[in-house]
Amino acid sequence: MKIAIASGKGGTGKTTVAVNLALTIASLGQPVTLLDCDVEEPNCHLFLKPEIAGSRSVTVPQPKVLKERCNGCGVCADVCEYHALTVMKGRVLVFSELCHGCGACFLLCPEKAIVEEGHPIGSVEEGVAHGIRFVQGRLNVGEVMSPAVIHQVRERGDGVGLCIIDSPPGTSCPVVESVRGTDFVLLVTEPTPFGLNDLTLAVEMVRALARPFAVALNRCDEGDEGVRSYCERERIEILLSIPNDRRIAESYARGDIDLSKLPEYRKVFDQCYRRIAALVNASQDGAYRGKKRRDL
């Protein structure tokens, strides 16, 4: 089972929910992997404090022009959707910052004058903490291809059982790469006008991806009733409600957000996990029954 923790905006408490959900599952004796896919600003390690056992580089293919073969025909520049190549006075110039590694120039060059080289854009690190297998990605400063690093992090979680995925904020390509193919998405938000606006965008995204989802409401005892009214109107279940508790803020400031030390929160996260598991089982059973009906 793969559970993605996402949000339409930053600062809603995704990391708090992801880390504590992983700790709760581990305390039940179940093997769990936490994937930090917020590769531009990973921070789960600040709270889990894992012992990193290994790291490997993430590369993407980028074109290199063989000058002795190139005749300056311009086909490579014409087929590039991202304008990463241009031809000036019969010479091909490559702008690596714009390249998305699609390979079109390499495949379509009539003179076979382009080869692909691996360009490092980040790294993936693995470790263990509190009985949790931990994987995180780091995007190199100045790079923009975060989905490629996220893809590598996701691959490290394939086939290993239960995974908690801490997604980047927002609803753009990095989030889609983090959420795709998961069994459940928990959208973390807060009861403010900004929280409601970005929650509606996140709901549209997960519905477009056809993922089962629910909402976690952080700082639930403050703000307005806009989020609750929206969820009631859209028939979206609120699985987790966390009040604006000073003890949580103090723990966060110390780099410790293990809420199991506060008994009432351990129970809340335990109930949230069990409800997610029940919803995933129901969703998979419904899909199986639908498949059998189509077969008939």
Average pLDDT, stretch 267-283? 93
- What average pLDDT score do residues 158-171 get? 90
The pLDDT of 130-137, averaged and rounded, is 95
Q: What is the pLDDT of residue 287?
A: 52
Read out DSSP for 18-71? HHHHHHHHHHTT--EEEEE--TTS--HHHHH--EEEEEEEEEEEEEEE-TTT--
What does the pLDDT look like over 9-21, one tens digit per residue? Answer: 888 999 999 999 9
Q: Are 180 and 171 in contact (CB under 8 A)?
A: no
User: What pLDDT sits at residue 96?
Assistant: 87
**Inter-residue contact 164 to 182 (CB < 8 Å):** no
Q: What is the model's pLDDT at position 37?
A: 97
- Dihedral (CA of 47, 48, 54, 55) sign: negative
Q: Percent of the chain scored above 70 by pLDDT?
A: 96
**292 or 22: which leads in pLDDT:** 22
Tell me the domains of the chain and their CATH numbers. Answer: 2-57+123-295 (3.40.50.300), 67-112 (3.30.70.20)
Q: What is the pLDDT of residues 40-63, one digit of tens each?
A: 999 999 999 999 999 999 999 999
Q: How confident is the model at residue 124 (pLDDT cuts 50, 70, 90)?
A: very high
Q: What is the spatial order of strands in the sheet that 51-65 belongs to?
A: 51-65, 114-129, 132-139, 32-36, 162-166, 2-6, 184-189, 213-218, 238-242
CA–CA dist 247, 113 (Å, integer): 62
Q: Do 50 and 129 meet the contact criterion of CB atoms below 8 Å apart? A: yes
Q: What is the pLDDT of residue 286?
A: 61
Task: Please report the pLDDT score of residue 292 as a whole number.
Answer: 47
Burial class (CB in 10 A: 0-12, 13-18, 19+), 40: middle
Average pLDDT, the chain: 91
The predicted-structure confidence for 226-248, as pLDDT tens digits, reads as follows: 999 999 999 999 999 999 999 99
Cβ neighbours, 10 Å, residue 214:
19
pTM of the model: 0.89
Is 107 strand, coil or helix? helix
Provide φ and ψ at 181, rounded to 5°.
75, 5
Q: 55, 157 in Cβ contact below 8 A?
A: no
